[in-house]
Structure 1
């Protein structure tokens, strides 16, 4: 606003200068102390016309050059500012996508360890139920902590909330299955049947597949943002 005000004042000054100078010249040529100058009035009018015209032309050229340079600088600043904002936005998304991918990968490891615990309990080593219960509770605490971290990142990936909600629905079904058929089964003295384990395994596989799809999507988004950063942000 300040620069535009200065341009307006300069323009008014130039217009006033152009308007007033001819009257000053006409009056000046009638002064007694200018009578020593040789030449006719028409000749002097022509001289002053060319002289003042050259000054006005120079001022106009300077004004135009200043205005064009100012506009170019302003446009360049806006362009660089926009580029900087895009760069920061891309960098922020890369950081958040990386964080989401890391948290989900950690959840995947917890899922796999939990599965291995059930597999070991079912097929290999005898294990007290309280050990199984405590281990499963430990994995669940880690998973819920991871989910709380991911919830804060939903604004950066609009479709992530629905994907996580679907995954957690399967996750809770899987956990209820573990508690019902393993930890809190009616007769702990009896071995869990292989068919029960197969049902659990299918539910666990479904959970891992959903998680893999989410991780793939986040990985693709992350790769896209990194490509933008490497190629330059337009």
Structure 2
């Protein structure tokens, strides 16, 4: 901001200097020729010219007037053209800045959309892993390892999304809402895992791990699934919002 202000001050100063020089030159052009003619008519080496002084004054007036008029018209044309060029350069520069700004926003929208989609895929895996464990396809250790991996990936995705907040309107507010759903979901998952397996473990005669039933009632798989569904629906809605903004930016870019 400071550099921009200094640049504007420097441009204003240069413009003022140019105007002052132009005025000075015009003053010299308009005052010097009449004085030179007046002085010249008194010089001895100009006495050979025929005709009266009035006639010569009329001649020099028309002659120098034509030259001064041409110079003045040229100066005006130059300043007008120069001003138009400056305005066009400024307009082109502004258009280029807007174009680059739109391109950056489009890239950021695409990145946010991709990160949210990746997050939703991780959320969907929670249901898959809980279902596999409920159907005794996987063990409790496998379930816990999978949930920990998902949580690590989701937190990494969230950090990347946080870095994009300055570029996307209301992204910070929506991420806070997303984290509220996320915490609720993982609280259900943690309670499901912890309370489901809070009883002592032992191995039967063939070495198979057996879980003694707990007196506590854990969240059911359906409750876990419902929490994940709420999380995924909110994330999908946020993806649609980002996609709509992305489309508007693309249409605006095409219109130029």
TM-score (norm: length of structure 1)? 0.91
Alpha-carbon distance in 1 for matches of 2:141, 2:101: 49
Is structure 2 residue 162 aligned with structure 1 residue 151?
Answer: yes
Measured at CA, do residues 29 and 139 of structure 1 come closer, stay the same or move farther in structure 2, by a change above 3 Å? same
Gaps of 5+ in 2: 1-12, 200-210
Give the CA deviation at 1:199.
Answer: 2.0
- Counterpart in the other structure of 2:5: none
Gaps of 5+ in 1: none
Alpha-carbon distance in 2 for matches of 1:6, 1:172: 65
RCO comparison, higher one (Cα < 8 Å, 6+) = 1
Alpha-carbon distance in 1 for matches of 2:114, 2:92: 33
RMSD: 2.1
- Counterpart in the other structure of 2:100: 88
Deviations 1:58-93 (A, max 9, x none): 110010011001101100111111111111111111
TM-score (norm: length of structure 2)? 0.83
Alpha-carbon distance in 1 for matches of 2:43, 2:49: 11
Alpha-carbon distance in 1 for matches of 2:78, 2:162: 53
Q: Which residue, out of 22, 30, 35, partners 1:10?
A: 22
Alpha-carbon distance in 2 for matches of 1:165, 1:157: 14
Q: Which residue, out of 142, 146, 149, partners 1:131?
A: 142
Deviations 1:83-129 (A, max 9, x none): 1111111111111111111111111111111111112222x344321
Alpha-carbon distance in 2 for matches of 1:190, 1:202: 24
Q: For 1:168-187, what aligned pairs fall within 5 Å after superposition?
A: 168-185=179-196, 186-187=198-199
- Give the match's secondary structure for 1:37: coil
Alpha-carbon distance in 1 for matches of 2:54, 2:146: 110
Q: For 1:16-55, what aligned pairs fall within 5 Å after superposition?
A: 16-55=28-67
Bigger drift between 149-158 and 22-31 goes to 22-31
Is structure 2 residue 89 aligned with structure 1 residue 77?
Answer: yes
Contact 2:178 2:234 (C-alpha < 8 Å) held by counterparts = yes
